[in-house]
Amino acid sequence: MDQRTTRPGRRLHALVDRLLGRNGTTIPAPRRSNPDAVVDCAVYVDGRREPGRPHYADAYARSRRGRDAFVWLGLHEPGPAVMAAVGRVFGLDELTVEQALADGHRPTVQRHGDVTLLVLRTAGYVEHDELTESSEVIDTGDVMVFLGDRFVLTVRHGASGALTTVRAEIEQRPAVLAEGPWAVAYAVCDRMVDLYLEVAGHVERDLDRVEENVFSPDRSVDIQHVYQLKREVVEFKRAVLPLQSPLRTLLEPHPANPPRSLHRRFADVDARLARAVDRVAAYDDLLTSIVQSRLAQLAVEQNNDMRKIAAWAAIAAAQTGIAGVYGMNFPTLPGLEWRYGYAVALGLMLLAALTLHRLFRRSGWL
């Protein structure tokens, strides 16, 4: 056999052997990467994060093999393809996947088989130089937390309510994180309530400025500006108030609820949420009072304008009446041929005007 043809053949066989893993040689499989919608993915064992950021499928498989381990997958506005793939890996049903794709949900707690869904609304304050009739004061979104035996998925919609800080803070508390997926749910709830209280503080300062302008002598604020702020507060109220019922549901004794070791922490979150609810409800009532006060001021201002118009119309009517009488061309009209008749008529008009003006000034109409 020709030596020139056997050497390339041997090299080809050797290459095939290496590709097929023969002779003890293996080629590592290409590493999978997470899609862009994945903000972070990590495996936690005994409350401590394992190194790296694996693909969510590999992370879930690793968590199921380990003891006291779970995976936390964070998603931001995933597309249908990504969410469908995530649902297949974590065993989510079709309805649950569809819920994760939509935004604008009301805060709630739902149970789909072995998976518990906790929905929270996010809130963020939008800085603005001055309040206008189209100012955006509060930006809202939502966070959906899916809790399973060995996993927790957080799906966030909207710009506000980022969970990067939540993950960083809870990773510094391994004793809490060792409680499992419900520890992540507690951290998310705690962060959302903190945001509510922070936004409430900013809104209170806006309210103080609006109240000061409405009751100031110049009254520079417009009713449309006050109404726009009320609309923003109502949106904030819809995000905060409905969360009370789901949180209290989690405090009830139920096998699918958080472990007893986390009840005190959830109770603390519920207490701070009650403070936020009271503040937001008070802001809404105060804005309603401000709107009514401003409308009353406008009614008084319009009434004053109408009185001024009526007063000037009465003054003009006196002149018109005198001129109308002396404008009638009857031969027997008194003073028609009098030498001083014209001057007397003008004097009478002036006297009537001054008298009426003085009377109206005394009565507050002018």
Q: For 314-329, how does the pLDDT look when each residue is reduced to its tens digit (9 = 90+)? A: 777 777 777 776 666 6
Average pLDDT over residues 24-45: 72
Mean pLDDT value across the chain: 83
pLDDT of 162 higher than 50:
yes
- pLDDT above 70 covers a percentage of the chain that reads 83
- Mean pLDDT, range 131-145, rounded to an integer: 85
Say if residues 352 and 322 touch (Cβ distance below 8 Å).
yes
Per residue in 162-200, is it b (16+ CB within 10 Å) or e — as a string? bbeebbeebbeeeebbebbbbbbbbbbbbbbbebbeebb
Q: Give pLDDT, residue 314.
A: 76
Q: What is the pLDDT of residue 330?
A: 61
Dump pLDDT digits (tens) for 165-220: 999 999 999 999 999 999 999 999 999 999 999 999 999 988 888 877 777 766 66
Torsion sign across C-alpha atoms 134, 135, 137, 141: positive
Name the residue among 161, 287, 141 with its Cα closest to residue 214: 287
Whose structure tokens read 């209170």?
204
Q: What is the pTM of this model?
A: 0.74
The yes-or-no verdict on residue 27 having pLDDT over 60 is no
DSSP label at 115?
Answer: E
Mean pLDDT of 294-321: 74
What confidence score (pLDDT) does residue 312 get? 80
Q: In this predicted structure, what is the pLDDT of residue 115?
A: 93
pLDDT score recorded for residue 16: 38
Average pLDDT over residues 343-356: 79
Confidence of residue 254 (pLDDT cuts 50, 70, 90): confident
Let me know: does 240 contact 273? Beta carbons within 8 Å: yes
Q: 108 pairs with which residues across the strands?
A: 119
Range from 103-117, 157-171, 309-323 carrying the lowest mean pLDDT: 309-323
pLDDT at 12: 42
User: What pLDDT sits at residue 167?
Assistant: 94
Residues 284 and 280: their CA atoms lie apart, in Å, by: 6
- What is the spatial distance between Cα 186 and Cα 152, in angstroms, rounded to a whole number? 12
CA distance 15 to 34: 31
Q: What average pLDDT does range 106-123 have in this prediction? A: 92
- What's the pLDDT at 183? 95
What pLDDT does 335 receive?
Answer: 64
Predicted pLDDT of residue 4: 44
What is the spatial distance between Cα 118 and Cα 316, in angstroms, rounded to a whole number?
72
Q: Give the N- to C-terminal CA distance of the chain in Å, as an integer.
A: 124
Among 124-128, 131-135, 286-290, the range scoring the smallest mean pLDDT is 131-135
**Total residue count of the chain as it appears in this document:** 366
Tally of helices (H runs) and strands (E runs) in the chain: 11, 7
pLDDT over 50 at 347, yes or no? yes
Which one, of 214, 231, 235, 219, lies nearest residue 292 by Cα?
Answer: 214
Interval 288-310 mean pLDDT: 75
pLDDT given at position 2: 44
Please, which pLDDT band fits residue 21 given cuts at 50, 70 and 90? very low
Read off the pLDDT of each residue in 2-8 and give the average, rounded to a whole number.
Answer: 45
Average pLDDT for residues 230-235, to the nearest whole number?
A: 88
Determine which helix (DSSP H) or strand (DSSP E) holds 71, and give its type and residue range. Answer: strand 69-76
